[in-house]
């Protein structure tokens, strides 16, 4: 499994709990693990076990109580809000269960969103957006609004949006959770291609055993503790 290169994600002694009133709910207990570059990791576990929480910590949209999260050599727990935002925009692509496209923007405009924060010119942005839409095979639908697309197509647009700034890692929280079997299969094959052809690292939370099959490694989170299932 290890090729000698340092892992892209390193997590050490990670703790996270939520406060609900006076009650403290521990979610993650001293999690330690790492992910190699180019890995396709599936995170499984019962509902409420903290999968989304862990994913959010790795992606830099939530802060741990203690512990280290290092991504691509950067200790993201030490970044402030604005630094994190900039870091996310450049380094992480997000794929959500419900696609999270802006309904008032066309497929093209949705994919263009992350590039609006870069110094790229309009023409350069157009090239990037078209390339990303080619990867997900949706160039013919770029002027459609999300409401005019099927679930699978919307998720492909979301994937195009995730890869358009060329991030190293992609995080996906139940990307097939809202899709029928055929569309789910399509999305999983697309994600496999992103790993194999573009060398992306993917961390995917899923309940779907078929989705987990596509992954190289499956890890199981239960009661805040991580177990290796197979690799």
Partner 1 sequence: MFILKLLIRNAFRHKLRTALTVVGVAIAIIAFGLLRTLVGVWYMGAERSSATRLVARNAISLIFPLPISYKERISQVQGVKEVSYGNWFGGIYIDEKHFFANYAVEPKTYLDLYPEIVLPPAEKTAFIRDRKGCIVGQKLADRYGWKIGDIITLRGTIFPGQWEFVLRGIYRGAEKSTEERALLFHWDYLNETLRKTAPQRADQVGFYMIGVANPDLAAQVAVEVDAMFKNSLAETMTETERAFHMGFIAMTSAIVVAIQIVSYVVIAIIMIVAANTMAMTARERIAEYATLKTLGFGAFHIAAIVFGESLFIAMTGGLLGVLLTFPGADWIETELSQYFPSFSVSPSTVYLDLLASLMIGAVAGVFPTWRGATIRIAEGLRRIG
CB of residue 123 to ligand ATP, shortest distance in Å: 40
Give the total residue count for the chain: 231
Binding status of residue 201 toward ligand ATP by CB under 6 A: no
Alpha-carbon torsion (27, 56, 22, 79), positive or negative? positive
Give the footprint of partner 1 on residues 168-227 (CB under 8 A): none
What, of Mg ion, ligand ATP, partner 1, none, does residue 48 touch, CB below 5 to 8 Å by kind? Answer: ligand ATP
What distances in angstroms separate CA 177 from CA 15, 188, 218, one per listed residue?
A: 27, 12, 17
Give the footprint of ligand ATP on residues 32-91 (CB under 6 A): 45, 47-53
Site size for partner 1 (CB under 8 A) = 25
What phi and psi values does residue 28 have, to the nearest 5 degrees? -115, 130
CB of residue 209 to ligand ATP, shortest distance in Å: 14
What, of ligand ATP, Mg ion, partner 1, none, does residue 15 touch, CB below 5 to 8 Å by kind? Answer: none
CB of residue 59 to ligand ATP, shortest distance in Å: 13
Residue pair 25/19 in contact by the 8 Å Cβ criterion: yes
Q: Sketch the per residue contact string, 45 through 64, with partner 1: x for CB under 8 A, - otherwise.
A: --------x--x--x-xx--
Q: How far apart are the first and last CA of the chain?
A: 8
Rounded distance, CA 73 to CA 126, Å? Answer: 31
Give the footprint of Mg ion on residues 30-59 (CB under 5 A): 52
Q: Which H or E element spans position 41?
A: strand 40-44
CB of residue 50 to partner 1, shortest distance in Å: 12
Rounded distance, CA 175 to CA 31, Å? Answer: 24
| Residues engaged in binding ligand ATP (CB under 6 A) | 18, 20, 25, 27, 45, 47-53
């Amino acid at each position: 499994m290890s090729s000698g290169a340092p892992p892209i994600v390193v997590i050490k002694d990670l703790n996270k709990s939520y406060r609900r009133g006076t009650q403290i709910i521990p979610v993650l207990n001293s999690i330690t693990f790492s992910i190699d570059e180019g890995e396709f990791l599936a995170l499984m576990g019962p509902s409420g076990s903290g999968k989304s929480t862990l994913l959010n910590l790795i992606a830099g949209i939530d802060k741990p109580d203690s512990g280290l999260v290092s991504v691509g050599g950067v200790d993201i727990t030490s970044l402030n809000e604005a630094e994190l935002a900039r870091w996310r925009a450049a380094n992480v692509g997000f794929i959500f269960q419900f696609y999270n496209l802006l309904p008032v923007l066309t497929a093209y405009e949705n994919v263009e969103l992350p590039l609006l924060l870069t110094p790229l010119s309009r023409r350069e942005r157009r090239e990037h957006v078209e390339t990303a839409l080619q990867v997900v095979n949706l160039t013919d639908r770029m002027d459609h609004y999300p409401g005019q697309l099927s679930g699978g197509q919307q998720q492909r647009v979301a994937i195009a949006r995730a890869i358009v700034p060329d991030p190293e890692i992609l995080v996906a929280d139940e990307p097939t959770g809202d899709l029928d079997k055929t569309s789910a299969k399509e999305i999983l094959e697309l994600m496999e291609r992103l790993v194999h052809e573009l060398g992306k690292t993917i961390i995917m939370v899923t309940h779907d055993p078929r989705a987990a099959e596509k992954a190289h490694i499956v890890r199981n989170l239960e009661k805040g503790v991580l177990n290796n299932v197979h690799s």
